[in-house]
Amino acid sequence: MAGNWKMYKTPAETHNYIEAFKPLVAASTHCDIVLCPPFPNLPAAVAEAAGTTIGIGAQNLHWGKEGAVTGEVSGHMLQAVGCSHVIIAHSERRQYFKESEPEVVKKVEAALEWGLTPIVCVGELLAEREAGRTEDVLSEQFDGGLAPLTPEQFAKIVIAYEPVWAIGTGKVATPQMASDAHRFIRSKVTARFGAEAGAAVRILYGGSVKPDNVKGLMAEEEIDGALVGGASLDPKSFAAIVNY
Catalytic residues: 90, 162
Provide, rounded to whole angstroms, the least separation between the CB of residue 41 and ligand 13P: 16
> Nearest CA to 1 among 55, 48, 40?
55
Interhelix angle 42-49/11-25, rounded to 10 degrees, is 30
Instruction: State the nearest-atom distance from the C-beta of 208 to ligand 13P, in Å.
Output: 4
* 188 near ligand 13P, judged by CB under 6 A: no
Query: Is residue 225 a contact residue for ligand 13P (CB under 6 A)?
Result: no
Instruction: List CB contacts of 172: < 8 A, sequence separation 6 or more.
Output: 166, 207, 208, 209, 210, 213, 217
What residue number has its CB nearest to ligand 13P?
Answer: 229
Residue 26: Cβ within 10 Å count: 12
Q: Binding ligand 13P by CB under 6 A: which of 34, 228, 239, 242? A: 228
Cβ–Cβ < 8 Å for 106, 63: yes
Q: Considering the complex, what minimum distance in angstroms separates the CB of residue 172 from ligand 13P?
A: 8
When asked if residue 89 is in the footprint of ligand 13P (CB under 6 A), the reply is no
Site string for ligand 13P, 137-156 (x = CB under 6 A): --------------------
Q: Which stretch binds ligand 13P (CB under 6 A): 41-49, 95-103, 142-150, 205-213?
A: 205-213
Burial class (CB in 10 A: 0-12, 13-18, 19+), 81: middle
CB atoms within 10 A of CB 99: 20
The rounded Cα 50 to chain-centroid distance in angstroms is: 21
Using the minimum distance from each CB to ligand 13P, give the nearer residue, 42 or 228.
228
120 versus 209: smaller Cβ distance to ligand 13P: 209
218 binds ligand 13P (CB under 6 A): no
Cβ of residue 181: shortest distance to ligand 13P, in angstroms? Answer: 15
Question: Based on CB atoms, which residue is closest to ligand 13P, 62 or 94?
Answer: 94
For 207, residues 6+ apart whose C-beta sits below 8 A from its C-beta are: 123, 162, 163, 164, 165, 166, 167, 169, 171, 172, 173
Separation of alpha carbons 70 and 60, rounded Å: 15
Give the type of residue at 96.
Y
Which range binds ligand 13P by CB under 6 A, 45-53, 108-116, 134-142, 224-232? 224-232
Residue 213 near residue 240, CB atoms below 8 Å: no
Identity of the residue, 225 or 229, whose beta carbon is nearer to ligand 13P in the bound complex? 229
227 binds ligand 13P per the rule CB under 6 A: yes
Interface with ligand 13P includes 229 (CB under 6 A)? yes
Binding residues for ligand 13P, per CB under 6 A?
4, 90, 162, 167-168, 206-209, 227-231
